[in-house]
């Protein structure tokens, strides 16, 4: 149950110094709990999560809000969000941080799927923007990067289409160049 709580804290946005509403998390993790039972379950599970993480302050709860302390917990999702907003981002850096769909195929809660879709959309938009020039100048390179992204997450369907489009363009250019070479060698 502690790892499920951690997933809900992440999905609710309790990372990178931000916090999430405890009441919302309690409702999602313990929907059948009546009265104070959900809050007691949260407190016990939070204590167990802190023990797993190895630090009593790794997860902070106060004023009805909860979040991971960024000084003690590095979260790839927070790092990816920051990178996607960074002007100096590169496709390689994005792929290094984007390990695949948020929480894999764990759709235990509706918020997990919503976060996964948001992250997929951001990664797609950023990679398309970063590779716009590469698509024109080196479509084979762009296709390779897009295919690597799709290997990490089959849900990146727009990138799959971009990869296939670039690959077809690269093959057409290679065929045209091979035909020109063949015509030039008969001189």
pTM of structure: 0.82
Interior angle at CA 102, CA 99 and CA 106, nearest 5: 120
Structure tokens given for 167: 């690959």
**Structural domain boundaries in the chain:** 2-68, 76-185
Structure tokens given for 36: 């104070």
Residue 47: how many CA atoms within 13 Å on its side-chain side? 5
Q: Which residues of the chain register pLDDT less than 70?
A: 106-108, 177-187
Place of tokens 């160049």: 177
Structure confidence by residue, pLDDT tens digits, 118-163? 999 999 999 999 999 999 999 999 999 999 999 999 989 999 999 9
pLDDT reported for residue 87:
94
Asked if 67 and 15 count as a contact pair (C-beta separation under 8 A), the reply is yes
Cα first-last separation, the chain: 75
């Amino acid at each position: 149950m502690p790892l499920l709580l951690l997933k809900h804290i992440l999905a609710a946005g309790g990372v990178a110094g931000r916090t999430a509403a405890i009441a919302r998390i309690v409702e999602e993790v313990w929907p059948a709990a009546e009265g104070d039972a959900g809050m007691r379950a949260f407190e016990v599970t939070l204590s167990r999560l802190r023990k797993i993480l190895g630090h009593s302050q790794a997860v902070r709860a106060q004023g009805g809000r909860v979040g991971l302390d960024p000084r003690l917990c590095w979260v790839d999702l927070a790092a990816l969000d920051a990178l996607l907003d960074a002007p100096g981002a590169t496709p390689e850096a994005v792929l290094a941080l984007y390990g695949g769909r948020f929480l894999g195929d764990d759709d235990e809660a509706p918020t997990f799927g919503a976060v996964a879709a948001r992250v997929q959309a951001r990664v797609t938009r950023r990679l398309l923007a970063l590779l716009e020039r590469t698509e024109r100048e080196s479509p084979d390179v762009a296709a390779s990067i897009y295919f690597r992204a799709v290997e990490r997450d089959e849900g990146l369907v727009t990138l799959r289409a971009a990869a296939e489009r670039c690959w077809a363009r690269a093959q057409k250019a290679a065929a045209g160049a091979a035909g020109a070479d063949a015509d030039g060698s008969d001189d």
